Structure 1
Amino acid sequence: MPAAPLPDPVDETPLDGPRLWVEFPEPADVADDPDAAPGTVYRCDLTWLTSDYTCIFGAGCPGIHADAPDVGCCALGAHFTEPADSDRVAAAVQRLTPATWQYHATGRAEGWTEVEDGDLKTRVVDGGCVFANRSGFAAGAGCALHLLALTEGVEPLTLKPDVCWQLPLKRSYRTVTRGDGTEYLEVTITEYDRRGWGEGGHDLDWYCTSNPAAHVGTRPLFRSAEAELRELVGDGAYEELARHCEALVGRAGGAHRRLLPLTVHPADPARARARRTR
């Protein structure tokens, strides 16, 4: 049976709208002292985490730049978050070969990093990240570091730059002061929408998280991105988050249903169709 055609990739939904959030304390804080105010509280976007979003690179993704569709969102290269981030990638690069990395010769001869506005990042070569294997490459299109991880049987997040494996999840921090003057660290997990790219995000020709074309996954995001979420919040917090997500996601006929309209992501294809017919 042929797959259903993807929704129109230009049918992007608004960035803002009502969503369902959950807050819960760091489980380790509660376990250590149930009567004490927790030092860390997670604030998580359930509407996003229970959505059907999935990366469609190689399956209809037109890329963030119309003139570079083959490289998806790898057109700009990846900025490193800290020295440990670039060091981890550097160690992986030593294990790449011409069979897994299309730009192996270029990267070895000319380097695979560059400095942009004072920040270290991966080089851009021929309109995309130096690690982005293009269509026609014998090992297939996609990230050479991701391919290496699959070859070695490890999670891709252990080899790729932080910004690459975290996308499309966004983690942010802020200090919150309670009414009694005590403080806690708030860790927010939500959608990495256009604004996550900074001011230039509004100039991208296309972006996935708010587009119905990418909300065609077979599992809710909190399950398909379990490894990434565990890395972002830790095992204990992930299990608590998953419990809240499961409370909103039922199983019926192999597809998950939503118990409240507020939990349906605005880019869900059914919601997008409903808006067009109003």
Structure 2
Amino acid sequence: MPEVPLDFPRAWVEFVNPDDDTEVLRCDLTWLTSSYTCIFGSGCAGIYAHSPDVGCCTLGAHFADDEDEKRVAREVKRLTPDLWQHRPAGRLRRDDWVETDDEGERKTLVIEVDGQQACIFQNRPGFKPGDFADGAGCALHALALAEGRSFVETKPDVCWQLPLRRTFRDVERPDGTEYTEVSISEYERRGWGPGGHDFDWYCSGNPEAHVAPEPVYLTHADELTALIGEAGYRELVRHCDAHVRSRSALALHPADPH
């Protein structure tokens, strides 16, 4: 199906972070109440036509900061060959799964398998894992499933956040006071930078991925709680519930079924 245009009317809500009165949370109700869900393995075409089996993992994952990389490194040590198809043999070193891009930023290593490039943690179709994993897909995600944890704990920040996007902006009010605006919105093509326009397929604006029986603010509860805190998430749920009750008169996501 064709993707919807990038620009369309959206409904937003702003409220003070209950845990930090110096922050105002600005949340995209149109996105958060949409029926989007990840369809990896169930129709996902991959962001590039030449690598349809690896979803959006073609480019590897940039680490948000040193702590993000250190946290992932602790989880990588827990990966066994029955969870991680491409685990290097022998004693595991950081250089076995981390590389530096052309701008000097650290990210997960990209390898090529059967002509398709992807993150080294991406298990490919045909992988026969242990009883508790799902085969193709992220090994760090499989680790979370195997241990009964949230993948928020095991995957790089950018991976578990996608397709939610958190941005920060300092705002000065007319009276001279200031606050930090924290926006929670859709990680659509433009979130990837100029290269996002070159993707052959992308999920967040595609009706094929708007098939969940529950809205994003419920299906992504773990991610949203990690992004804005427990109190912030509870307040967000209150606003999203109200938007759902009255959404016939407000901006809906055009990729949702109508």
Whichever residue aligns with residue 43 of structure 1, its letter is: R
Q: Which residue of 2 aligns with 1:24?
A: 15
Q: Which residue of 2 aligns with 1:184?
A: 179
Alignment of 1:184-263 (within 5 A): 184-250=179-245, 259-263=247-251
Whichever residue aligns with residue 100 of structure 2, its letter is: V
Match for residue 128 of structure 1 among 111, 115, 118: 118
Question: Does 1:105 find its partner at 2:88?
Answer: yes
Question: Does 1:161 find its partner at 2:156?
Answer: yes
Match for residue 66 of structure 1 among 31, 34, 49: 49
TM-score, length-scaled by structure 1: 0.86
Q: Secondary structure at the match of 1:39?
A: strand
Match for residue 148 of structure 1 among 143, 146, 150: 143
Taking the aligned partners of 2:54 and 2:213, their CA distance within structure 1 comes to: 24
Quote how far apart the aligned CAs of 1:269 are: 3.0
Taking the aligned partners of 1:264 and 1:59, their CA distance within structure 2 comes to: 24
* CA-to-aligned-CA distance 1:57-80 (integer Å, 9 cap, x gap): 000000001010110000000000
Is the 1:68–1:75 contact (alpha carbons within 8 Å) kept by the matching residues of 2?
A: yes
Q: Which residue of 1 aligns with 2:29?
A: 46
Q: Which residue of 1 aligns with 2:77?
A: 94
Is the 1:248–1:263 contact (alpha carbons within 8 Å) kept by the matching residues of 2?
A: no
* CA-to-aligned-CA distance 1:114-137 (integer Å, 9 cap, x gap): 000200000111101000000000
Q: Secondary structure at the match of 2:25?
A: strand
Question: Does 1:114 find its partner at 2:119?
Answer: no
Percent of residue pairs bearing the same amino acid type: 57
Taking the aligned partners of 1:171 and 1:144, their CA distance within structure 2 comes to: 25
Is the 2:9–2:251 contact (alpha carbons within 8 Å) kept by the matching residues of 1?
A: no
Quote how far apart the aligned CAs of 1:106 are: 6.2
- Which ranges in structure 1 are unaligned for 5 or more consecutive residues? 1-7, 30-37, 251-257, 271-278
Q: Which residue of 2 aligns with 1:254?
A: none
Q: Which structure is larger by alpha-carbon Rg, 1 or 2?
A: 1
Equivalenced residue count is 246
Is the 2:88–2:96 contact (alpha carbons within 8 Å) kept by the matching residues of 1?
A: no
- Which ranges in structure 2 are unaligned for 5 or more consecutive residues? 130-134
Structure 1 runs of 4+ aligned residues shifted over 6 Å read none
Match for residue 75 of structure 1 among 37, 44, 58: 58
